[in-house]
Amino acid sequence: MNREDNYIDQLTRDLLQSAGEEPSAGLGLRIMQRIEKEAPLARRKVVVYADDEWKATPLIIAGVALYLMLAGCVIGCLFQPEIVDEAIREMKENFPYIVTACVIFGPLTFFAKLDRLIA
Partner 1 sequence: MEEHKWIKDVLAGDTHSFSYLVGKYQQMAFSIAFRILGNREEAEEAVQDAFVKMYRALPDFRFDSKFSTWFYTIVYRTSLTAYRKEPLFTDYNEAASAHITPEEAGNAASLLESNDRKAVISNVLKRLPPDESLLLTLYYLEECSVEEIHQITQLTLSNIKVKLFRARKRFYETLKHLMKHETYAIL
| Residue numbers at the binding site for partner 1 (CB under 8 A) | 4, 7-8, 11-13, 15-24, 27-28, 30-32, 34-36, 38, 40-44
User: In the bound complex, what is the minimum distance in angstroms from residue 73's beta carbon to partner 1?
Assistant: 46
The residue type found at 7 is Y
Asked if 102 contacts 30 with a C-beta cutoff of 8 angstroms, the reply is no
26 to 22, 23, 30, 32, 48: CA distances (angstroms):
11, 8, 6, 10, 40
User: In the bound complex, what is the minimum distance in angstroms from residue 85's beta carbon to partner 1?
Assistant: 57
Q: In terms of CB distance, is 30 or 92 closer to partner 1? A: 30
User: In the bound complex, what is the minimum distance in angstroms from residue 35's beta carbon to partner 1?
Assistant: 5
Q: In terms of CB distance, is 41 or 118 closer to partner 1? A: 41
